[in-house]
């Protein structure tokens, strides 16, 4: 049996530990919460220059209140709902064909 290491989880835990050692307990808690939400599939993380950037998953959008409570954020579900995108695309195509 082999063990699979999730690099994202390991990196977040390391950042949280480093923050705690530096006395930045707020950042450490935020990173711990981020790890929990990531492991629950509520967010995905991308990395740029060694720093994590989060994006809500569909499950995260469905549980936006939980994400906001854990992260101290103010995401709004309305920001993530795309109203009738297929209708909008069809309307755009029809307008383009009429030109």
Q: Which stretches of the chain score pLDDT less than 70?
A: 1-5, 81-94, 96-99
Residue that is written with structure tokens 């993530």 in the block: 80
pTM: 0.73
Decide: 38 and 12 in contact? Cβ < 8 Å: yes
Which string of b and e fits 35-53 if b means at least 16 CB within 10 Å?
A: bebbeeebbebeeeeeebe
- Residue spans per domain, the chain: 7-98
Nearest to 31 by CA among 42, 18, 47, 22: 18
The pLDDT value recorded for residue 42 is 94
SS3 71: helix
Is the distance from CB of 77 to CB of 64 less than 8 angstroms?
yes
Which pLDDT score, from 0 to 100, does residue 78 have?
A: 82
Residue 99 has a pLDDT of 63
């Amino acid at each position: 049996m082999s063990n699979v290491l999730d690099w994202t989880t390991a990196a977040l835990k390391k950042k949280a530990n480093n923050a705690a050692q530096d006395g930045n307990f707020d950042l450490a808690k935020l990173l711990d919460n981020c790890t929990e939400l990531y492991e629950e599939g509520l967010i995905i993380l991308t990395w740029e220059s060694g720093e994590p950037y989060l994006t809500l998953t569909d499950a995260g959008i469905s549980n936006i209140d939980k994400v906001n409570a854990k992260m101290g954020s103010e995401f709004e579900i309305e920001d993530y709902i795309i109203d009738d995108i297929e209708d909008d695309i069809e309307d755009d195509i029809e307008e383009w064909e009429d030109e």
